[in-house]
Amino acid sequence: MDFCFRLARALSASRFIVVIALTLSAFAASRGAAESRDLPGELQALQEHAAPAPAAGDAAWQKRWWIEKTARLLRGGEGLGPGDDVDALLKLPEEEIARRFMADRRFGDSILDFNMFFLGFKIDSLKSDGAYKRNAFDFPNAVAAAQALLTGGDYLKLFDLKGPFYMAPLPQEFDDPLPANETRLPAETVRIKAIDEVEAVYVRLINMGSAPVPPAADDFCYEIEKVLEGAAAMHTRMLRAFNDPEIFVLRRGQVLTKPMEIIARAYRAECADKDEAKVDVKHLTAEIRRAFDYYYRAIGEMLKFEPSRYRPQSVLDFQEFDLGVFGLKSWLAFGWEQSNALKNSSTNFNRKRGAYILKRFFCDDLTPVGFETPKEHVSGAHGSDTTCYACHYKLDPMAGFFRNLGADFYNYGRSLMVVFDDDANSDRKRYSAHWAAAPGAARHWNIGYIRSPRFEQANAYGASVGDLSRILREAPEPKRCLMKRLYQYFVAEDQAIDAAYLDELTRQFETEAAANSSTAMKNAIVRIVLSNAYRQPDADPRQCYDRAPGTQREGAPPCGVAYILEKNCAQCHSGASPSGGLDLTRWVTAPGGPMPSFPHRGIDEKPVPPHETLTRIVERLSTSDPTQRMPKQKTMASQERQALFLWAQEEQARLAKGARP
Amino acid sequence: MIVRLLAAALVCVGLAPAAQAQSAQFKGWSAVSRELSTRLARPGAPLDLDRFMPAEDVDGLLGTWNGFGDEHTFKNGAPNSVNMMIWRVALSRFAKSVAASCKTPELDFSDRFLDTLEKLCTWPSAFAKSDAVLSEFWFAVMGYNAPEAEYRAWREFFLASAYRDRPAADAVEAMTFAITMNPFFLLHR
């Protein structure tokens, strides 16, 4: 019977019929067509034999279940196997078990998987046939943070949007078809062949320019000109030996373009701007050699990632790429996949990228809940319309951090133009001017994390991606977001969480992270796997199973919003004579009333109907009129305002349907 | 027969409580494959379970985090008639392969699982019907995902139904299939 209950919860009734039919038909099929038993009768037998739900005495079963679940979550998806001594584990305290699992090599996979979940790019499995998939390398801040966690380092590298680069092993198969004469060659051989073809071009020019008898300047310039004219075709031929993710690296590292730029500059200086007699062949040759050195060193570094010599077995084995060969000190954390997912255009002004940062690092889903009228007039600007500004006031300043990053997050900061993912381009200075602060403002750019358009002192401003990383590390919201995602990852994405409990998790994390963020993260994981919600085999997603100490009390509003109300509203809306007659700290069923609601009395002292109360709450949360907007003269975190607003709307809908909360 | 099946389904529906606001979702083929490999395969040699899929590239229909060109969310995890059909085909083939392994192992199972299977393959002997053998097989495949009630229901069903006297090939296949189609095995929660 329990089987039926479980399945029915998973499926709607109509789907359930199909499933049962399929399941029973499977049994029937296994018996053969000649079988002639009474299936419904057999099903009934199954139901009769089913024991009731596990009793409290089934502690060993319950603990084994907890161990299995925890093993799976902390050991890269691998639950208990034949190598685990379950009986020995059963004797250990749960915290000890969790810490043992975190000491396992596979914990690195779990934490990388979580980091990718945090960044919004989790995949089903980090490995395929025992080797890490390319995606696992694509988020350098996720890798760096995972490595740090395993070695007691700085886990908050997860918030660094610039840092090391971890290239994936080079591909063993190509996405595009090879020429017929290469189809049977191993990928590495094709790659070496393609690289050598380009190398031969450089070597021929260098040999020509450094021959004992130097070439005639005109001839040499002609040869260089031919190479420059054929560069695009030459590079296209070479790229047959790489797939798009590696081409992305070649492009960001300017492996093919920079050498050609060096040669082109020398060609212009010597061949185009001078008389033939004054052409310095030695200088030309030296510049070609410099170009070749750049190419050679960059390619040499990339070839260290051939699968024949680079096959990491754990996250700790992920190898940093030597960015010095690209002349870079750090690598932008937005890699190949994010470049595809977070494209910009000549018209969206990086808003998709801004929305991504708000959503993933600040847990701000940009639910439009009205806005506070800013002190500064914004009329006429895109997104300044009343409704739109509810999101744009924070979205546009966040997008500004990416103003120099064009297509594929390529840095155009030193270029005159910015090229976007839609292949359009724009004058960079004119484009950047969209984020310029008004003349006389204390700052140069209207770029930052905006908590309030009205109270600027609440905001965190900056100008560069480096500044954004600093804000992510310093602001409290990303750490709270990190704890929220951790809870979602280990418990369930849709499980209600008491805001006070989340704040308490965050407070403990922040306190411990001040000393060591890896220890803090591991402790946070332990707290969650020991939580009540984590232990529920069949949790009700609307119920909060965990509370901060001292916050649980009878008659409190629903857990999803109780703490938000306590924190932002209770100062006025509580006690014997609450403001407006509305007590937002209690949740009671009025005598004869069908549903619980906030105690609310009008000016005439008569009870205000629950739907009317909720309507007023929604209005007061979303109005942009500072005299009406709640909480008055206070900055309420937009995440909390959104949560309360959405909850009130859901309650309204529930009331309309007559359903109980 | 169809009428009886539907009647059986309706019995279950009638007994089941009203569905909660949230429905559990499938773990996805990748997660289920990994779990089975951890429990049944030789260390470091995952089972090739993809061969049981009815077609190429349908694993994404069983619940997946994979994606490209946008942020990843878990997709196709809600049970529906299509993914149930795929689960049914893939896991019934797997179950058939486990049963066939009573004679010759068809998958690269660990020695420990082969020992467990060998005992069950003596079905319908009294030894195979012992709680020790049945629970060993249950844990080997299910892990500790399900409460004891599920194990008892499964065991009693096979001890009391017509499977009691069926040959091992039939019984082991049905036992494996029943475990792998159990919601505690397939669903996230």
Report pLDDT digits (tens) over A337-351.
999 999 999 999 999
Q: Can you give the pTM of this predicted structure?
A: 0.86
**H-type alpha helices, A36-106:** 39-49, 59-74, 86-90, 94-102
Say whether B15 and A340 touch across the interface (CB within 8 A).
Answer: no
A418: number of Cβ within 10 Å: 25
Burial of A380: CB neighbours in 10 Å, binned 0-12, 13-18, 19+: exposed
Beta-carbon separation of A49 and B147 below 8 A = no
Please tell me which residue, A25 or B157, carries the higher pLDDT value: B157
Say what angle helices A13-31 and B168-180 make with each other, to 10 degrees. 160
Tell me the β-bridge partners of A418: A426
Select from B81, B174, B177 the Cβ nearest to the Cβ of A18: B81
**Residue A595 near residue A586, CB atoms below 8 Å:** no
- Please answer whether residues A537 and B189 qualify as being in contact, where contact means their C-beta atoms are separated by less than 8 angstroms: yes
- Structural contact between residues A498 and A531, judged by C-beta atoms closer than 8 angstroms: no
Pair of tokens at residue A579: 């403001």
Mean pLDDT value across residues B77-96: 96
Contact B80, A14 (CB under 8 A): no
Nearest CA in chain B to A17: B9
CA distance to partner chain A, nearest, from residue B121 (Å) = 16
A50 sits in the region (left: phi over 0; alpha: psi -120 to 50; else beta) called beta
Distance CA A357, CA A645 (A): 22
| The predicted structure's pLDDT at residue A656 | 80
Which of left, alpha, beta for A383 (phi over 0: left; psi -120 to 50: alpha)?
Answer: left
Question: pLDDT by residue (tens digit) across B116-135?
Answer: 999 999 999 999 999 999 99
Which pair of structure tokens corresponds to residue A456?
A: 């600027």
* The length of chain B, given as a count of residues: 189
Task: Say whether A251 sits in a helix, a strand or coil.
Answer: helix
Select the residue from A1, A5, A9, A101 to test the B interface by mutation, using most B Cβ atoms within 10 A.
Answer: A9
Domain membership flag for residue B44: yes
How many Cα atoms sit within 13 Å of A174 on the Cβ side?
Answer: 20
Calculate the alpha carbon distances from B44 to A113, A129, B38, B41, B108 in Å.
20, 9, 9, 8, 11
| A488, HSE (Cβ side, Cα atoms, 13 Å) | 16
Question: Residue A193, SS3?
Answer: helix
Which candidate in B12, B52, B117 is best for mutational testing of the A interface (most A CBs within 10 A)? B12
In-domain check, residue B6: no
Residue B80: its pLDDT value, please? 94
- Cβ neighbors of B107 (< 8 A, separation 6 or more) are B40, B41, B47, B48, B97, B98, B101
- Judged by CB atoms closer than 8 Å, whether chains meet at B84 and A15 is answered as yes
Answer whether A127 touches B (CB < 8 Å): no
Is residue A77 within 8 Å of residue B32, measured between CB atoms?
Answer: no
User: Is the bond preceding B124 in cis, omega lying within 30 degrees of 0?
Assistant: yes
Nearest Cα residue in chain B from A359: B71
Contacts for B180 with CB less than 8 Å, ≥ 6 apart: B32, B91, B94, B95, B141, B186
Residue B5 belongs to a domain: no
> Given CB atoms, is A11 within the 8 Å cutoff of chain B?
yes
Q: Give the count of domains, chain B.
A: 1
Question: Testing the interface with B: which of A1, A4, A494 to mutate, by most B Cβ within 10 A?
Answer: A4
Nearest to A122 by CA among A484, A469, A485: A485
Query: Does any domain span residue B127?
Result: yes
The verdict on residue B12 lying in a domain is no
Element (H, E) at A307: none
Residue A220 C-alpha, separation from nearest chain B C-alpha, in angstroms: 46
Which residues of chain B make contact with A42, given a CB cutoff of 8 A?
A: 157, 161-162
Please name the residues in contact with B43: beta carbons below 8 A apart, sequence gap of 6 or more: A81, A82, A83, B110
Q: B20 pLDDT band (50/70/90 cuts)?
A: very low
Cα angle A611, B22, B11; round to 5: 110
Q: What is the pLDDT of residue A103?
A: 96
Three-class secondary structure of residue A37 per DSSP: coil
CB neighbours of residue A244 within 10 Å = 13
Given a cut of 60, whether residue B160 has pLDDT beyond it is: yes
Give the span between the Cα atoms of A118 and A141, in whole angstroms.
11
For residue B144, give the nearest of B112, B177, B184 by alpha carbon: B184
Query: Residue A372 has what pLDDT?
Result: 59
Q: Give the H or E element holding residue A119.
A: helix A107-119
Count of H helices and E strands in chain A?
A: 26, 10
Tell me whether residue B167 is in a domain. Answer: yes
Helix (H, G, I), strand (E, B) or coil at A417: strand
Q: What's at A651, amino acid-wise?
A: E
- Tell me the three state secondary structure of residue A222: helix
Residue B185 in this model has a pLDDT that exceeds 90: yes
Please indicate whether, in this complex, the C-beta atoms of A20 and B9 are within 8 angstroms of each other: yes
Contact B148 A31 (CB under 8 A): no
- CA pair distance A131, A125, nearest whole angstrom: 11
Position B1 in a domain: no
Domain, as residue range, for B156: 20-186
Better-scored residue on pLDDT, B170 or A496: B170
Does residue B187 sit in helix, strand or coil?
strand
Fill in the DSSP letter of residue B93.
Answer: H
Which residues are CB-contacts of A188 (< 8 A; sequence separation ≥ 6)? A170, A172, A306, A307, A308
Instruction: Please report residues of B whose CB lies closer than 8 A to that of A32.
Output: 170
CA pair distance A69, A80, nearest whole angstrom: 9
Q: The complex's ipTM? A: 0.88
Banded pLDDT at B22 (limits 50, 70, 90): very low
| Dihedral (Cα; A240, A242, A248, A253), 10-degree rounding | -100
Q: B15 CA to chain A: closest CA distance, Å?
A: 7
Asked if A53 and B149 count as a contact pair (C-beta separation under 8 A), the reply is: yes
Assess if residue B9 is contained within a domain.
Answer: no
Helical ranges in A514-609 per DSSP H = 517-529, 532-535, 559-568
Q: What's the CA gap between A169 and A134, in Å, rounded?
A: 7
Query: In this structure, what DSSP letter does residue A434 have?
Result: G
Q: What whole-number distance in Å separates Cα of residue A203 and Cα of residue A211?
A: 12
> CB under 8 Å to B67, separation ≥6 — which residues?
B73, B75
**What contacts A492, CB < 8 A, 6 or more positions away?**
A533, A539, A541, B188, B189
Mean local confidence (pLDDT), B2-29: 52
- Spans of chain A below 50 pLDDT: 1-57, 377, 661
